[in-house]
Structure 1
Amino acid sequence: MTAHEPATADHVDGVDAGSGLKAGLKNRHLSMIAIGGVIGAGLFVGSGSGIAAAGPGILISYALVGLLVVLVMRMLGEMAAANPSSGSFSAYADRALGRWAGFTIGWLYWFFWVVVLAVEATAGAKILAGWMPGVPQWGWALIVMTVLTVSNLASVASYGEFEFWFAGIKVVAIGAFIVLGLLAIFGVLPGSDHAATGFTNLTAHGGFLPNGPGAILTGVLMVVFSFMGSEIVTLAAGESPDPRGAVTKATNSVIWRIAVFYLGSIFVVVSLLRWDDPAILKDGSYVAALDSIGIPHAAQIMNTVVLTAVLSCLNSGLYTASRMAFSLSRRSDAPASFGRTTERGVPRTAILASVVFGFVAVAFNYLWPDTVFQFLLNSSGAIALFVWLVICFSQLRMRKIIERETPEKLVVRMWLYPYLTWAAIGLITFVLGYMLTDAADGGGRDQVVLSTAVAAAVVVVSLVRQRVRRARATAPATDGAAAS
């Protein structure tokens, strides 16, 4: 296979003909990636704990985080529509805040997703091992990682095709869940013996906020990380025929996507069930809801949907990590080999490096789940919030740059700039601060402290690299002056 050598310039203006990547994603791929990107496995698996903690008030928690994601995506959409790039927010931070910022947030984001690879591979392996116990759990983890690695190595179109069907299954499943749930709530679902409850469960069992207003913030901490992944479409758009149009469409549709898939489905759950129903924690919120309306084999149906969400997250995580590594290499912030592509436009070395770290993390999960792997989880736990914070600060600067240099590219505008940007910064900072008060086992305090320590270490590495580069750049001139 032939290879394309990486350029040293910052490709903030998008994936051009010389980048090595190819526009292999079709519009239907981008549309489904945008729709399905907000539906993570955390929605199906983690929502039960949030409901148990906040009661029906968990809807406010989801609404607050959803609003934050909408604002952040609007900011990112403004920058990405003006300058589509495979490095997305890392490339924008590089230009807006400085080389250290792009380097730091790029590598932290890569680290986040390779740890997610291990988490999702293990989750998928547990489901598959339950269905087919003849293969050990670690064997299933190896199989799913290998299959999706081969897919990503084949071409970006393979990633897009897998994600199209994975996302499609998630969308259909949640859509069907909402429709069936609403029919049951009003007592018109054929064959169901579920009593028509209307919306009385929202207030009848201790009120809408049975554990007090403070539980809303607890719910925020529990649900915030299930939204991570919305930004993937801005990276993937760089490998589509019309990146600007794809980003614009995805940004404009994020409001209804979050409203339907998150708020809509959780609204159905807390309307169908008492918030303190033991089955919500025992079986999971969606399984409990389906059981309550008499859907046969509800647990296996939801296991299939969760497995699809897990595989989707694995697929997207590998793609995202490799493209971030590729972008870092193009800006000389990662090994040069990460920036080379095959004749199919695939950054093979970047993919393999990402998946190798993912395999190592999977091994840690089986060998030292409560020590080494827990450290990896905690040290990457707050990175999602760091990414959103960097997007906000980058947009404050990039907006002025775009208006000054290429105002015609400002086709997506952040609402009420700069006031809503500062409001989002304030909300993210508040969430990070509130996490420091959560000292429970594996809680927010450890995540913020360890993630901050890792981020500080990466910043130091970046600053040292910059100083070394400057020293090397000035050394020849100094030597020449001394010789004369």
Structure 2
Amino acid sequence: MTTPSSRLAPEHPDDGQGPGGRLPGSDADAGLQAGLKNRHLSMIAIGGVIGAGLFVGSASGIAAAGPGILLSYALVGTMVVLVMRMLGEMAAADPSSGSFSAYADRALGRWAGFSIGWLYWFFWVVVLAIEATAGAVILEGWMPAVPQWGWALIVMAVLTVTNLVSVGSFGEFEFWFAGIKVFAIGAFIVIGGLAVFGVLPGSDGGGDGFSNLTSHGGFLPHGADAILTGVLMVVFSFMGSEIVTLAAGESSDPRRAVSKATNSVIWRIAVFYLGSIFVVVALLPWDSDAIQEKGSYVAAMDEIGIPHAGQVMNVIVLTAVLSCLNSGLYTASRMAFSLGGRGDAPKSFARTTARGVPQTAILSSVAFGFLAVWFNYQWPDTVFEFLLNSSGAVALFVWLVICLSQLRMRRIILRENPERLVVRMWLFPYLTWATIGMISFVLVYMLTEPDTRKQVLLSVLAAALVVVLALVRDKVTGRGGRDTEDRADAKV
């Protein structure tokens, strides 16, 4: 398969960075096929930022920060917008299934690409277990004749087959999953907004305008510090925004797809996150018992008067869970594929079927996912809790690596192929450094909070082990070297 990015540079003998100085793990000469259509990429870009965490995790954030949770979402949203802009700059220049892992390989060294690639893979295979269990709980409530573990097995098996058939089948499933999420959130915002101002026909709820934002102890009932507490609670619900940059390598026009996704991330976060949470805290007092007992969205729909609000939300959450499972399996397998192509994983991971599917990478990823599901049922408070905590801060590590890679990749791209720089980070390098500071601050602040300290420490331990393994491996194999010209020219 030849993508547009494969024609960006003349080929020359492989120097360890791919043909023509291309990033390691780029897909031009791999076996992946352009099976994702524009509508698939568009919906993945729009719906990819909406995870199940938005629906089920927002209640605790509201309890911790009150209406000020809006500022928490705005701060994290701003950080994600900046990170996505940096990633978009690199991905538009050279789309790759390895995305930020491949760019870290080129910009920071093989140890960085190896380490962040495997940590990211580990994060998503643990997520597979979490989401499979969450979906199984909902399905067992509807059909208790099948045990929870049976439902978890069924949903994992179905989505594994979907990913094995072709990338187009993944895209089709994700198109409809994401479409349902987008429609549900959009309808909730419109109907809830009308109810807030008392103009929703047939509804007795709402009608108080903005009074609930300030009437119960003020906009910040627990003080300004609660904004940071809220940040810790909502930051991980944004993970997944970067998936579109991995998927772009399997589209017919990856550069256009990445540019479009990067440019639209601002309104997506503003509408789906800030818009929907605003409706909740405007409709109900932040300290309402209903928010904690039923969940923020169910409580808001009950307030509006939507019948069977709980079951409606269960359908929406199940859709979000299936979408996350589908995307997580795709993402983990493509990262494994890219690692295999760069020699950082077994070579079999980089082999594809006649349909352009990395079958071994998919099966290996889902095998670990099944194992994690089993751990969740067998030892939920020991082994699985360890897996959960040791992957808890990986999202922040990924964002930090994206920032550090972009600092160097800008110079490499300008020197080698300046025409590829079709997406540019704003106010470079000042906003890049500011984002690095924001992410570092969140990590340090997590260490001061008892609820998140263990996640950071275990995640740092996991990262340290992988980095040591990468450095030892590179020393033994003699593959840790990096282009000396790049090193001398890029002073970061």
Report the TM-score, using the length of structure 1 for normalisation: 0.94
The question of whether the paired residues in 2 share the 8 Å contact of 1:80 and 1:88 is answered with: yes
- 1:18 Cα deviation from its structure 2 partner: 2.6
Deviation string for 1:59-100 (max 9, x for gaps)?
000000000000000000000001111100000000000000
CA distance in 1, matches of 2:119, 2:479: 26
1:434 pairs, out of 413, 430, 445, with 445
Q: Which 5+ residue runs of structure 1 have no aligned equivalent?
A: 1-6, 474-484
- CA shift for structure 1 position 415: 0.3
Query: Is the CA contact 1:193–1:294 (under 8 Å) kept in the aligned structure 2?
Result: yes
Structure 1 counterpart of 2:190: 179
What is the Cα deviation at residue 407 of structure 1? 0.8
**1:111 maps to 2:122:** yes
Q: Distance in 2 between matches of 1:57 and 1:106?
A: 35
Q: Distance in 1 between matches of 2:127 and 2:464?
A: 21
Distance change >3 Å, CA 156–CA 184, structure 1 → 2: same
Q: Partner of 2:204: helix, strand, or coil?
A: coil
The aligned runs of 1:90-169 (5 Å cut-off) are 90-169=101-180
- 2:230 is aligned to 219
- Say whether 1:339 aligns with 2:350: yes
Give the deviation of 1:55 after TM superposition. 0.2
Q: 2: CA distance between counterparts of 1:165 and 1:195?
A: 32
1:165 to 1:471, Cα distance in 2 relative to 1, 3 A = closer
Q: Which residue of 459, 464, 467 corresponds with 2:472?
A: 464
Which residue in the other structure is 1:3 paired with? none
Aligned mate of 1:357, from 357, 365, 368: 368
Question: Which AA in structure 2 matches 1:377?
Answer: L
- 3-state SS of paired residue (2:478): helix
SS in 1 for 2:260: helix
Alpha-carbon separation, structure 2, partners of 1:370 and 1:92: 37
2:85 paired with 1:49: no
1:261 aligns with 2:269: no
Shift of residue 438 of structure 1?
1.1
Superposed CA offset, 1:248-279 (max 9, x none): 00000000000000000000000000000011
Match of 1:478 in 2: none
Name the amino acid aligned to 2:476: V
> 1:194 deviation in Å?
1.1
Aligned residues: 464
Give the match for residue 414 of structure 1. Answer: 425
Task: Give the residue type in structure 2 aligned to 1:391.
Answer: I
Q: Distance in 2 between matches of 1:17 and 1:72?
A: 25
Deviation at 1:472, TM superposition (A): 12
Maintained 8 Å contact 1:9/1:330: no
Asked whether the 8 Å contact 2:61–2:234 carries over to 1, the reply is yes
| Alignment RMSD (CA, Å) | 1.4
For structure 2, the residue ranges without an aligned partner over 5 or more in a row are 1-13, 482-492
Give identity over the alignment, percent: 79
Q: How far apart are 1:163 and its partner, in Å? A: 0.3
Letter aligned with residue 60 of structure 2: S
Q: 2:393 aligns with which of 368, 371, 382?
A: 382
Is the alpha carbon distance of 1:459 and 1:195 closer, same or farther for their aligned partners in structure 2, counting shifts above 3 Å? closer
Is 1:193 the counterpart of 2:204? The answer is: yes
1:306-325 correspondence to structure 2 within 5 Å: 306-325=317-336
Task: In structure 2, give the amino acid aligned to 1:28.
Answer: R
Matches of 2:39 and 2:198, distance apart in 1? 37
Between stretches 35-44 and 13-22, larger displacement belongs to 13-22
Cα pair distance change 1:63/1:471, threshold 3 Å: closer
CA-to-partner distance for each residue in 1:370-412, whole Å, 9 max, x for gaps? 0000000000000000000000000000001111111111100
Residue 237 of structure 1: aligned partner: 248
Query: CA shift at 1:357, angstroms?
Result: 0.2
